[in-house]
Homo-oligomer: A and B are copies of this chain.
């Protein structure tokens, strides 16, 4: 940590800061310039984080050198985390596609979708039962009935399932039906929820908040990791900007950035990011080219009749077409599509 003080600060005020640092057990490197005095502290500064140095006279800036997250950082673990869900490996060489409707609406809808996305190569079925909706008057999901349908559709078609959990009091119920808990963008800093999910044994798909920096995103992952659940899958889903042609702005540069900063797998949701189905396929391809470990895509057998987010859902045949077009790009970046579990386990072993 570096504390920058004004060069004209009274000597006694500089001493107060130095004494505080020493009192907390740190050695201080002092560089005195004409305009600025720089106090450097090397090493573990954990106990300095909450000290409000800005409240001391003469302090101009406080600069943290080390990242505030630890377990999520690549420095903590320098090989990629892989997460096993049933016979699927997320974060390995294979690109994993999750697909399904925004909301589970009825048996016919979810079973038809499951059957078709499986045929196209998806490995995981998505579908909401509890939906966070901006307006209280929008359809909020079928609740447990939706969970049951999702789980059955997944089971019958050999797909793992992922669904959103919005509150701590839904965890036990949802745990009975899902393979992966999804935390939505609006809950990325619902720290009570993150802490409780950190105590479960299931993988967590953590979506980036609409106005979250990459650092805040990794700190939210840290909340889960620090409770003992190391199976966090990150998901870039667009950030809020001034551009309003798209619903959000998909920040694909976050993919290679996070690959450098963290060992956690990261996938991309081009459906919510763009809000327009015509942009989903090009952005899905771009996400893979940028290095994403997978995709989560909204698919609906009849978007016109969907109860939520129909504007961004792909029809089943458009999705099938996309999956075909993705293959050469997946190969071009040295990844695989549809590899068997055995190969993957073999690879990880070596």
Taking a contact as CB atoms under 8 Å apart, the answer to whether A189 and B132 are in contact is yes
Taking a contact as CB atoms under 8 Å apart, the answer to whether A69 and B135 are in contact is yes
Q: Which of B239, B246, B325, B328 has a CB less than 8 Å from the CB of A328?
A: B328
A151 contacts B by Cβ under 8 Å: no
Taking a contact as CB atoms under 8 Å apart, the answer to whether A138 and B54 are in contact is no
Q: Which of B53, B288, B307 has a CB less than 8 Å from the CB of A50?
A: B307
A273 contacts B by Cβ under 8 Å: yes
Residues of B within 8 A of A136 (CB): 191, 195, 219, 222-223, 226
CA distance A264 to B276 in the complex (A): 21
CB within 8 Å for A257 and B241 given contacts A35-B66, A190-B187, A252-B250: no
Q: Which of B49, B52, B304, B332 has a CB less than 8 Å from the CB of A329?
A: B332
Most B-side CB within 10 Å, residue of A54, A69, A219, A308:
A54
A22 contacts B by Cβ under 8 Å: no
Q: How far is the CB of A163 from chain B (nearest CB, A)?
A: 15
Taking a contact as CB atoms under 8 Å apart, the answer to whether A311 and B38 are in contact is no
A92 contacts B by Cβ under 8 Å: no
Q: How many residues of A contact B (CB 8 A)?
A: 110
Q: How far is the CB of A98 from chain B (nearest CB, A)?
A: 19
Taking a contact as CB atoms under 8 Å apart, the answer to whether A211 and B213 are in contact is no
CB 8 Å contact bits of A106-141 with B (1 = contact, 0 = none)? 000000000000000000000000001111111100
Per the 8 Å Cβ criterion, residues 254-290 of A in contact with B are: 254-257, 260, 273-274, 276-279, 282-283, 285-290
A24 contacts B by Cβ under 8 Å: no
- Determine how many copies of this chain the complex contains: 4
Closest to A260 in B: B278
Q: How far is the CB of A63 from chain B (nearest CB, A)?
A: 6
CB within 8 Å for A253 and B239 given contacts A169-B169, A219-B134, A332-B329: no
Select the stretch in A40-48, A173-181, A339-347 that faces chain B: A40-48
CB within 8 Å for A243 and B222 given contacts A65-B4, A253-B274, A328-B332: no
Closest to A246 in B: B253
Most B-side CB within 10 Å, residue of A36, A132, A283:
A283
Return the 3 tightest CB-CB contacts between A and B, nearest first: A52-B310, A54-B311, A33-B42
> What are 28 A-B pairs at a CB distance below 8 A?
A2-B38, A29-B31, A51-B310, A55-B303, A61-B65, A69-B135, A134-B189, A136-B191, A167-B167, A167-B168, A167-B190, A168-B168, A169-B169, A186-B190, A241-B251, A242-B242, A246-B253, A249-B249, A252-B252, A252-B283, A253-B279, A253-B282, A253-B283, A282-B291, A285-B289, A286-B290, A329-B333, A332-B332
